[in-house]
Amino acid sequence: MKIIKEVVSEDCFDGNFIKEYIVDTTITDEWIIYLEQFGTMTFLKNLENPFYSFDKQFFFTIKGILNENKIKVIFRRNTMDKSKEFFNLLLHSYKGSIEDQKKVKYLEKEILKEISKHLR
């Protein structure tokens, strides 16, 4: 999955940063299943416009609607640089090989090590 365009960027009242992206792939159930292996997923599929919210603690939250090609990402300001790197790899590895997904898991562990130093 690739980002075609950044639509909106704004600051949240809580200090986080929101970015909205247009991606080159329509969001499907496959995307939901893929994300579930990396964080906490809420998927409200019985709505007229099925909605999902994926939370990656300390990193970001991704929100979107099934069958659209737009996603909203709420980055945690204090970890945004590392989280953005993780987010880009997460997108790139979607529909990739098992090796690609292992890279995502490895980067996740490395970033969590780095973040945990700052949380102590």
Q: Which domain holds residue 113?
A: 3-119
pLDDT, tens digit, for every residue of 65-99?
999 999 999 988 777 778 888 898 889 888 877 88
**DSSP character for 39?**
S
Positive or negative: CA dihedral 88, 90, 93, 99: positive
Total number of domains in the chain = 1
Look up residue 14 and give its two tokens.
């809580």
Give buried/exposed letters for 44-81 (b at 16+ CB in 10 A, else e): eeeeeebebebbbebbbbbbbbbeeebbbbbbbeebbe
pLDDT tens digits, one per residue of 7-36: 877 666 666 788 999 999 999 999 999 999
